[in-house]
Amino acid sequence: MAEKTGFIAWLIDTVKTVFWALVIAGIFRTLFFQPFWIPSGSMKDTLLIGDFLFVNKMAYGYSYASCPSIRIQGLGIDIGADDFCGFIEDREDRIFGSDPERGDIVVFRHPVDGRDFIKRLIGVPGDRIQMVDGVLQINDVPVQVEPAGVFTETMAPQGPLGLRPQCANGPVGSGASCEKNRAIETLPNGVSHAILDIGPRPTDNTGVFTVPEGQFFFMGDNRDNSTDSRVSPAANGVGFVERKDIVGRADRVMFSSAGRSMFAFWTWRSDRFLTALD
């Protein structure tokens, strides 16, 4: 009898420990940092498929989007931030809020399906944004773009999704060198970053987007392989992103793996560990 009582006491203590550990982890993830894996190549070469980072939720304050989201496709689990904190989703203001700055790398919730996206902030409220022959125009002024060589990678499946890169010298066969033209783009506030180009695409020339109050315009650094604000949600794009849908800022790559699994240690990119993001 004493043994059974001891086992029950141990079980209760274990359940309590796990419960409070989950509570603490949930609070930490809600208020401070959210882990984020890079699943696609839309931010190359700033971010590569398989990069792992923590999103700084303190950078812009808190909204419903700061609440955790849990998506595990293999188990059919799809719990969004609106499921946890939908009761405050309609609030336009952010607690301890501040707006992101042009050039920041930002994680936000897609305005329609709620998935987490990561892109670079290009347009702030009141801006006029346009692409003309592949060159970004902000408030009718072309940004400075300087050639910076060629970005090269191997044509092969990348990451857990097995995505294959797009190439300026393509199509190329498996194992061949896949090239993209690389340039350094400098935004009006002095923020410089690399962008990639693979040739003429429909989004190289757009109409003028006037960013509404309380909303933002985002683009991927891999300009020809990015689902972003250049295309509306109705056409499977992103469109403008509301302030309340912003999750946080990406500041540093913590870990990186080029393989299908983080446990494949021979594919780890040690040169990217703890790398600050521009």
> Which of 57, 66, 69, 119 is flagged as catalytic?
119
Question: What was the pLDDT predicted at 2?
Answer: 47
Asked, for residue 68, whether it belongs to a domain, the answer is no
Residue 179 included in any domain: yes
CB 1: neighbour CB atoms within 10 A?
A: 5
Domain assignment present for residue 72? The answer is no
Task: Measure the CA–CA gap between 2 and 37, rounded to whole angstroms.
Answer: 48
Q: pLDDT (tens digit, 0 to 9) for every residue of the chain, 278 residues total?
A: 445 567 777 777 777 777 666 665 656 555 678 888 999 999 999 999 999 999 999 899 988 888 877 766 666 667 767 766 766 777 777 888 889 999 999 999 998 888 899 999 999 999 999 999 999 999 999 999 999 999 999 999 999 889 999 999 988 999 999 999 999 999 999 999 999 999 999 999 999 999 999 999 999 999 999 999 999 999 999 999 999 999 999 999 999 999 888 788 899 999 999 999 98
In contact, 278 and 190? CB cutoff 8 Å:
no
How many CA atoms lie less than 13 Å away from 51 in the CB half-sphere?
27
One-letter amino acid at 240 equals: F
**CA atoms of 143 and 157, how far apart (whole Å):** 34
**227, 235 contact by CB (below 8 A):** no
The model's pTM:
0.86
Domain containing residue 132: CATH number: 2.10.109.10
Q: What is the pLDDT of residue 1?
A: 44
Is 40 noted as a catalytic residue in this protein? no
Residue 28 falls within a domain, yes or no?
no
The total domain count for the chain is: 1
Euclidean distance between CA atoms 212 and 217, whole angstroms: 9
Q: What's the pLDDT at 9?
A: 75
Residue 66 identity (one-letter amino acid):
S
What's the pLDDT score for residue 214?
A: 94
- The pLDDT, as a whole number, for residue 11 is 73
CB 67 within 8 A of CB 84: yes
Q: List Cα–Cα distances, 138 to 148, 207, 217, 222, in angstroms.
A: 21, 12, 11, 18
Owning domain of residue 169: 37-62+99-276
Looking up tokens 């991927």 gives: 220
Helices (H), the chain: 2-31, 81-85
Catalytic residue among 40, 42, 226, 257: 42
256 annotated active-site: no
| Radius of gyration, CA atoms only, the chain | 21
Assigned domain for 83 exists: no
Is 108 domain-assigned?
yes
Whether residue 253 lies inside any domain: the answer is yes
The answer to the question of residue 26 being in a domain is no
- Which of 183, 255, 252 lies closest to 224, judged by CA? 183
